[in-house]
Amino acid sequence: MNDMSDHDLASPEDSAARTWGSSWETSRRRFLSISGLALGGAAIGLGAAGCGTAKTGNDNKGGQAQGRAGAAGETLFVAGFQWGPPTNFNPVGPSPAWPAGGGQSQLIYETLVRFNMVDGSLQPGLGTELKENDGGKSFTVALQEGTKWSDGKDLTADDVVFTFEIAKDASLSYSNVWEYLETVSATDPRTVEFKVKTKPFNPLPVKNAIAGTYIIPKHIWEEFATAKTLAKQANTKPVGSGPFLLDKYDQTQVVLKRDDNYWGKSVFGTPAMKSVVHPIFKSNSDGDLKLESGEIDASQQFTAQIWKMWEDKKKPVGTWLKEKPYYLPGNIPLLQINQTVKGLDNPKVRQAIAYAIDTPNIASTAMSDYSEPANASLILPTGYESKFYDEAGVKDKGWTFDKNKAVEILEKELKAKKGSDGIYKLPDGTRLGPWTLITPTGWTDWNTACEIVAKSCQAVGIDVKTEFPQAPNVTSKMQNGDFQLACWSASGVSPASPWSRFRDLLDDRGAAPVGKTTFYNFTRFKHPDVPKLLDDAGAATTDDERKTIYQKLDAIYRQTIPVVPLMYRPLEFYEFNESNWTGFPTEANPYAPPMWQGAGITWLFKIKKVGT
């Protein structure tokens, strides 16, 4: 300080220099010696940092038999659904916070019936069962006994009709059901009837919507429907029908408490936990560390090499399968190829790319062995879709990783010539690349898959590089066709799959051209036979009939290759740590599917506190 005042009269520049100079002169060498240490520390620290203030259960070392003490012991800690501060709990809005979002646990809002991805069945929810009449021309659902909202009012068929009717006028996430749905009506106060349109006739999306739509209370939402502000509601005090109530939330956590007046006590029982807490993390690694230490009980995160937690570190961690691939496949991340880009519009080029991609390596590294190498099919080879899977077709007409075959296609069939830069040029002078492959930043498994695709393509002489923009950017690029190559998935396993997946990827009806927003067919694919086959598949009444049509679609897909399957991914990741709660379903104890959404809610009622 003294030094500085001495030089106050000098030019400001000079005095600043003097004080800085003297204060650093002495500590310069010390700075040099610690800078190395600091750097090493930074690398290690970063991995552990970012745990932030998110609240989790305390790690109770050595107390495995008792689990956590106190209130934390009565709480189920989950992770992997919420990645930013919650802004709204509006189940019909565009981006609701956990657990109000579609495809999340039915803790606050419930659906009529619940999909089970293991056997494809629809389990009871608010309704007892989904009755199919006249080969799918209509569906009826009878409500369970005594269904009630958390504010004490009765949940009736009127609420169900209201929930579906509002999607007719307002644009909500399930509005597209009205393309296939004729009417929804209450035949009596506790029974709802869904009439399916005859043209186009397709009961699958209707079934899908009945199983996937949260029913909302008419007495609360009616005024917003008339005011046309449904999607704008923040709904911070959600009134639902589920077993839990929203207790509190902030930027670090969402806390739910058990509703002891839950209508379903007599049907489903009472959950053992008094509250469910979702701490909000910044990245996968934070949640992974806490799952390993038992501060998170169940998680929906991609956790690389999860088996090390029980094999090497002997933690009571588990997944659905004890052995590889640990999870059940439920979705297919795909290399989506823009059909309007010159060079990529050639199916033979796309075939060469399909052969070039090192899918075994993607499965073993990018997917951490959680996937078999992807097959040349849009149908999942396992689970309930496997009954449609065409093993012979995939073997005879499909592709597998084979660099030489890729080069052969380029040189023999396309007559492409390799330039001095090692990249092929088609006879018309089109250079194969540079093409950019995009996927959202931070999605580590997909990022790595993209890296492998780019390197695989480079290795055979196709110029591909990667770029990882923010997720919302990628979404809008996909929807507007403003991409060359992208890693993106289509719909996962559902009551309507694989029909929904074929439609997402191959149907050009209603899909906007490049530059306009579309919600499916991002690659802008066109094939004359596809629309009819899709309609036929939707209208088919037996699985055998569907199987034939699906396999025809799959054969067209294998000839045209608008997308290349990169790997299989679970519908949701499902892993648990049994140091506080036990009895999670596994393949050996399959009383519930390895899901969070749909029928996955079943296990929440069955898991028990350790030692009880």
Exposed e or buried b for every residue in 567-593, given b needs 16+ CB within 10 A?
A: bbbbbbbbbbbbbbbbbbbbeeeeebb
Query: CB-wise, 268 or 281, nearer to another protein?
Result: 281
Residue 536: count of CB within 10 angstroms of its CB: 17
Query: CB-wise, 19 or 58, nearer to another protein?
Result: 19
Residue from 48, 71, 227, 471 touching another protein (CB under 8 A): that is 48
442 binds another protein (CB under 8 A): yes
Q: Pick out residues in 389-428 that bind another protein (CB under 8 A).
A: none
Backbone phi, psi, residue 459, to 5°: -65, -25
Query: CB-wise, 458 or 480, nearer to another protein?
Result: 458
Beta-carbon contacts of residue 342 (< 8 Å; ≥ 6 apart): 430
Decide: 217 and 82 in contact? Cβ < 8 Å.
Answer: no
24 binds another protein (CB under 8 A): yes
Part of the chain binding another protein (CB under 8 A), chosen from 175-183, 439-447, 559-567, 571-579: 439-447
Residue where the block lists tokens 């916070």: 97
CB of 547 to another protein, least distance (A): 36
Strands 435-438 and 424-425: unpaired
Integer Cα distance of 292 and 318 in angstroms: 10
459 binds another protein (CB under 8 A): yes
Part of the chain binding another protein (CB under 8 A), chosen from 207-215, 314-322, 421-429, 443-451: 443-451
Strands 435-438 and 464-467: parallel
Residue from 163, 303, 521, 597 touching another protein (CB under 8 A): that is 303
365 binds another protein (CB under 8 A): yes
Residue 368, burial from CB neighbour count under 10 angstroms (0-12, 13-18, 19+): buried
- Own/partner long-range contacts of 4-7 (Cβ < 8 Å, ≥24 apart): none
Query: CB-wise, 448 or 494, nearer to another protein?
Result: 448
Part of the chain binding another protein (CB under 8 A), chosen from 31-39, 99-107, 174-182, 234-242: 31-39
3-state SS assignment for residue 339: coil
Decide: 78 and 277 in contact? Cβ < 8 Å.
Answer: yes
DSSP state for residue 167 in the 8-state scheme: H
Residue from 154, 165, 467, 482 touching another protein (CB under 8 A): that is 467
Query: CB-wise, 18 or 348, nearer to another protein?
Result: 18
What is the token pair recorded at 89?
Answer: 């709990």
Residue where the block lists tokens 């060469």: 352
364 binds another protein (CB under 8 A): yes
Part of the chain binding another protein (CB under 8 A), chosen from 34-42, 247-255, 376-384, 505-513: 34-42
CB of 605 to another protein, least distance (A): 32
Residue from 5, 31, 71, 386 touching another protein (CB under 8 A): that is 31
Q: Pick out residues in 164-183 that bind another protein (CB under 8 A).
A: none
476 binds another protein (CB under 8 A): no
316 binds another protein (CB under 8 A): no
591 binds another protein (CB under 8 A): no
366 binds another protein (CB under 8 A): yes
Query: CB-wise, 197 or 465, nearer to another protein?
Result: 465
381 binds another protein (CB under 8 A): no
Query: CB-wise, 433 or 598, nearer to another protein?
Result: 433
Integer Cα distance of 130 and 549 in angstroms: 25
Residue 340, burial from CB neighbour count under 10 angstroms (0-12, 13-18, 19+): middle
Residue from 1, 9, 11, 40 touching another protein (CB under 8 A): that is 40
- At position 208, the amino acid (one-letter code) is N
305 binds another protein (CB under 8 A): yes
137 binds another protein (CB under 8 A): no
Decide: 376 and 558 in contact? Cβ < 8 Å.
Answer: yes
| 3-state DSSP percent of the chain in helix, strand and coil, to 5 | 35, 15, 45
Total of chain residues touching another protein, rule CB under 8 A = 56
Decide: 606 and 124 in contact? Cβ < 8 Å.
Answer: no
Integer Cα distance of 546 and 534 in angstroms: 10
Angle between helices 543-560 and 530-539 (to 10 degrees): 160
Residue where the block lists tokens 């910044």: 282
Could you give the C-alpha distances from 543 to 282, 343, 385, 392, in angstroms and in order?
44, 39, 11, 18
Query: CB-wise, 39 or 588, nearer to another protein?
Result: 39
Part of the chain binding another protein (CB under 8 A), chosen from 105-113, 141-149, 464-472, 584-592: 464-472
- The closest of 167, 146, 287 to 215, measured between CA atoms, is 167
Integer Cα distance of 292 and 572 in angstroms: 19
CB of 402 to another protein, least distance (A): 15
- The residues facing 334 across adjacent strands are 488, 565
Residue from 8, 134, 312, 396 touching another protein (CB under 8 A): that is 312
36 binds another protein (CB under 8 A): yes
CB of 17 to another protein, least distance (A): 4
Query: CB-wise, 297 or 445, nearer to another protein?
Result: 445
Residue where the block lists tokens 């992208």: 486
Part of the chain binding another protein (CB under 8 A), chosen from 43-51, 107-115, 157-165, 267-275: 43-51
Residue from 164, 435, 468, 520 touching another protein (CB under 8 A): that is 468
Q: Pick out residues in 264-293 that bind another protein (CB under 8 A).
A: 284-285, 288-289, 292
Exposed e or buried b for every residue in 54-88, given b needs 16+ CB within 10 A?
A: bbbbeebeebeeebbeeebbebbbbbbbbeeebeb
What are the residues binding another protein (CB under 8 A)? 14, 17-18, 20-25, 28-29, 31-32, 35-36, 38-40, 42-44, 46-48, 284-285, 288-289, 292, 303-305, 308, 312, 358, 361, 364-366, 368-369, 441-442, 444, 447-448, 451-452, 454-455, 458-459, 465-468
